[in-house]
């Protein structure tokens, strides 16, 4: 695994990351369900929607240095259809907001997963992740969000 | 189809579960694991991934709607406080409205004391 290339504080609104190819295997799904505790029998051929959302977010985490203390404060996800296990997907990430208030950095990232199988370019799911990076002096309330 | 009652799900989120999740979700943030960063961080101990907590909401919706949840289901949530592990989490969804074939549920995840960890909404198009 290569180190993330981008510093978080170098981002700005409108930045778009290079598309990332993603294939979710059956082993990936089984490992995810073992971790979450959700029954596995219903997901023999498809990817749970929130798993896909987490992996879409992971494409961002792989490209950006994670700031100390970052908190995942909000999340939106819309599933158009379930991704199939083994389906070739292409994930894009864009910075949709980026601001600093009272030393705290707030940003949101839109991610989109499309089918890359065949000639299709079908949207499978879209997500928006909102994050907060508290100021270095730690003055932001710990109840403002959950670490991610 | 009439919007069904969604049954809650309760699950223990402990450190082994979080460690498995960190690998499965490809989230390398050390604040979730038993690391110096977690113990010196703002919460003083490891915190479960927000997306691991959110997974329980998707699970209760899948239990109620099956594959329909995957076709046009949507979530919008905010985390209210960190899930410090180990923690017993209950995910709930309560019908708020049913309009033009779309059911909207208030969703939440709570700890054993009933304190909200996550709140928001889940919407789904009801299939005939």
Residue B74, domain member (yes or no): yes
pLDDT value at position A142? 38
- Over residues B63-99, the pLDDT tens digits come to 999 999 999 999 999 999 999 999 999 999 999 999 9
A128, closest residue in chain B (CA to CA): B76
Measured from the Cβ of residue B86, the count of other Cβ atoms closer than 10 Å reads 14
Place of tokens 């980026």: A98
Distance from CA of A58 to the nearest CA of B (A): 6
pLDDT value at position A119? 62
Query: In order of start, what are the domains of chain A with their CATH numbers?
Result: 8-147 (3.10.129.10)
pLDDT value at position A4? 64
pLDDT value at position B28? 84
State residue A128 phi and psi, 5-degree precision. -135, 125
Q: Which domain holds residue B109?
A: 9-13+49-125
The number of domains in chain B is 1
pLDDT value at position B107? 98
Average pLDDT, chain B: 95
Name the DSSP letter for residue B41: S
pLDDT value at position A148? 47
Closest-CA residue to A82 (of B101, B107, B65, B100): B65
Please identify every stretch of chain A with a pLDDT value under 70, giving residue numbers as ranges: 1-4, 119-120, 137-148
Q: Give the E-state strand segments of chain A in sequence order.
A: 20-23, 71-79, 88-101, 104-115, 123-133, 146-147
- Decide: A127 and A56 in contact? Cβ < 8 Å: yes
pLDDT value at position A139? 54
Residues 38-77 of B with CB under 8 A from A: 41-43, 47-59, 62, 66-67, 69-77
CB of B15 within 8 Å of a chain A CB? The answer is: no
Measured from the Cβ of residue A44, the count of other Cβ atoms closer than 10 Å reads 10
Residue B85, domain member (yes or no): yes
Q: Examine the pLDDT at B104 and tell me if it is beyond 60.
A: yes
Cα-Cα end-to-end distance for chain B: 5
Residue B95, domain member (yes or no): yes
ipTM confidence: 0.95
- Decide: B35 and B45 in contact? Cβ < 8 Å: no
Name the DSSP letter for residue B48: -
pLDDT value at position B128? 73
- Over residues B110-128, the pLDDT tens digits come to 999 999 999 999 999 997 7
CATH code, domain with B104: 3.10.129.10
A61 compared with B103, residue with greater pLDDT: B103
């Amino acid at each position: 695994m290569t180190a993330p290339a981008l510093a978080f504080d170098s981002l700005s609104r409108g930045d778009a990351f290079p598309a990332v190819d993603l294939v979710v295997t059956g082993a990936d799904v089984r490992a995810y369900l073992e971790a979450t505790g959700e029954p596995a029998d219903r997901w023999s051929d498809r990817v749970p929607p929130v798993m896909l959302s987490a992996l879409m977010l992971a494409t961002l985490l792989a490209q950006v240095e994670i700031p100390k203390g970052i908190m995942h404060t909000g999340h939106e996800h819309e599933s158009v259809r379930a991704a199939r296990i083994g389906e070739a997907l292409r994930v894009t990430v864009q910075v949709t907001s980026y601001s600093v208030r009272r030393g705290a950095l707030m940003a949101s990232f839109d991610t989109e997963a499309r089918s890359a199988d065949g000639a299709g370019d079908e949207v499978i799911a879209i997500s928006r992740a909102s994050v907060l990076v508290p100021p270095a002096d730690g003055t932001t309330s710990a109840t403002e969000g959950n670490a991610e | 189809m009439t919007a069904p009652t969604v049954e809650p799900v309760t699950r223990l989120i402990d450190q082994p579960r979080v460690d498995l999740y960190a690998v499965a979700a490809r989230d390398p943030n050390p604040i979730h694991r038993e690391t110096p960063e977690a113990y010196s961080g703002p919460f003083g101990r490891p915190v479960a991934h927000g997306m691991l907590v959110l997974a329980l909401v998707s699970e209760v919706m899948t239990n109620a709607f099956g594959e329909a949840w995957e076709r046009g289901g949507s979530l919008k949530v905010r985390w209210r406080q960190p899930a410090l592990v180990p923690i017993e989490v209950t995910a709930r969804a309560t019908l708020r409205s049913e309009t033009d074939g779309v059911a909207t549920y208030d969703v939440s995840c709570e700890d054993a004391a009933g304190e909200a960890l996550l709140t928001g909404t889940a919407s789904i198009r009801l299939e005939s």
